[in-house]
Amino acid sequence: MGTLSHENGMTIYNLLLEYAPGGSLADLINKYGGKIPECDVRRYTRMILKGLSSIHNNGYVHCDLKPANILVFPSDQQDFQLKIADFGLAKEPDEDNSRKFFYQYTFRGTPLYMSPESVKLAEISPALDIWSLGCIVIEMITGKPPWHELDVEDFFVRLAFEGSSPEIPASMSKKGKDFLRMCFMRPHCERWTADMLLDHPFIVDEELTSPFEQEELLPPSLSDDVVKSMCKLILSDYSPGQGLFSSTDRPLSLGSTCKRLNFGPIGMGCKETEKSLLSKDGLRTKAN
């Protein structure tokens, strides 16, 4: 509240926040058709972890981390930047509380992203946000949050009294699965912190790097002429000002372009390459 000022409170005349032209992470998941490639999930998770690290190291717990509260901003350095928003439920532990947690007496957070201790109205610590982060990673991978098939009452019972944890997607890499296990440790004191997770192999290993971050954007078997043909076909569907997504509100499909060129599906590289080639201003210089 603007560090307050007193004579009995209030003041804040306005609340001005930066505009997020890319919408939210929830919008991005929908535009991907529900499933984001794991190499991109890794990159987005790293951004969120950096934000959480700053929040936690400054003594706050967000308490309502979810895709709708993570905003998307264009960036010159990469396709976009993610930023954590909406601190309406955030809490700050007392300065003299060296244990860095406090007890709650009402539910805080959004069901499906809440941790076991949140549902039990137990102490709140930064570990609460880590559980929510794990739920977000699952949603980026599968298109659905954990427990989406349950109503709220069943969710609370399953999480608080049956000792259940979210199901880790079988399609994830071993390092991705291990990362989620560290997020979903039920005793909150055993859950990894944001700083610890930033050093997890899932986040730091280069083998999971997106093609956007690599020197070579396309499989070496494709000639320069083929690349140029692909670029022309993509741009024929591209409308300036609409960024990565077409007027039908879905990603432009390099996969369909490959089929039109009689190359058939190139696998995961197709969708990854399309994202590498396109930006809000059209083709990136690197691909020309």
Domain region containing 94: 25-208
**Domain end position, chosen among 208, 230, 246:** 208
Secondary structure (DSSP) of 178-245: HHHHHHT-SSGGGSPPHHHHTTSHHHH-GGG--GGGSS--S-TTS-HHHHHHHHHHHHHH--TTSTTB
pLDDT tens for 154-172 read 877 777 777 778 899 999 9
Check whether residue 126 and residue 229 sit in a common domain.
no
Q: Of 148, 181, 208, which residue is a domain's last?
A: 208
**pLDDT tens digits, 231-261:** 444 444 444 444 433 333 333 333 333 333 3
Same domain, 45 and 59: yes
Q: Output the CA–CA distances (angstroms, integers) from residue 263 to 48, 82, 145, 273, 277, in the order listed.
A: 37, 34, 35, 15, 18
Residue 165 has a pLDDT of 85
What is d(CA 138, CA 147) in angstroms, rounded to the nearest whole number? 11
Residue 181 and residue 236 in one domain: no
CATH number, domain with residue 148: 1.10.510.10
178/246 same-domain check: no
Per-residue DSSP letters for 155-196?
HHHHHHTS---PPPPTTS-HHHHHHHHHHT-SSGGGSPPHHH
Tokens for 249? 């509100």
Q: Are residues 113 and 151 in the same domain?
A: yes
92 in the Ramachandran plot: left (φ > 0), alpha (ψ -120 to 50) or beta?
Answer: beta
Residues 118 and 200 in one domain: yes
Partnered with residue 279 across adjacent β-strands are 282
Identify the CA nearest to 68 among candidates 14, 119, 139: 139
- Asked, for residue 110, whether it belongs to a domain, the answer is yes
Which of 40, 64, 79, 129 is labelled catalytic?
Answer: 64
Across the range 43-60, mean pLDDT stands at 93
Nearest one of 87, 73, 186, 173 to 130, comparing CA atoms: 186
In a domain, 36, yes or no: yes
Instruction: State how far the Cα of 63 lies from the Cα of 126, in Å rounded to an integer.
Output: 8
Q: pLDDT for 162-220, tens place per residue?
A: 777 889 999 999 999 999 999 999 888 999 999 999 999 999 985 554 444 433 333 34
Computed over every residue of the chain, the mean pLDDT equals 71
Domain-embedded: residue 228: yes
Do 241 and 198 lie in one domain? The reply is: no
In a domain, 1, yes or no: no
In this structure, are 32 and 160 located in the same domain?
Answer: yes
Q: Is residue 184 part of a domain?
A: yes
Interstrand relation of 123-124 and 282-283 (parallel, antiparallel or unpaired): unpaired
Q: Considering the domain boundaries, does residue 60 fall inside one?
A: yes
Does position 278 have pLDDT exceeding 70, yes or no? no
Do both 127 and 158 map to the same domain? Answer: yes
CB atoms within 10 A of CB 17: 8
Q: Which pLDDT does position 9 carry in this prediction?
A: 65
| CA distance linking residue 82 with residue 84, whole number of Å | 7
Q: Is 64 in the active site?
A: yes
Instruction: Tell me if residue 51 falls in helix, strand or coil.
Output: helix
Same domain? 41 vs 163: yes
Choose the final residue of a domain: 208, 229, 258: 208
pLDDT band at 6 (very low <50, low <70, confident <90, very high): low
Six-digit token string for 245:
């997504």
**Across 54-58, 116-120, 160-164, which has the greatest mean pLDDT?**
54-58
Do 110 and 70 have their domain in common?
yes
pTM score, whole prediction = 0.65
Would residue 82 count as lying in a domain? yes
As a whole number, mean pLDDT of residues 130-143 equals 95
| Residue 247 forms part of a structural domain | yes
Predicted confidence (pLDDT) at residue 93 exceeds the cutoff of 80: no
CA-to-CA distance for 164 and 172, rounded, in angstroms?
Answer: 20
Please state, in angstroms and rounded to a whole number, the distance separating the CA atoms of residues 281 and 115.
40
| Residues 271 and 129 both lie in one domain | no
The domain total for the chain is 2
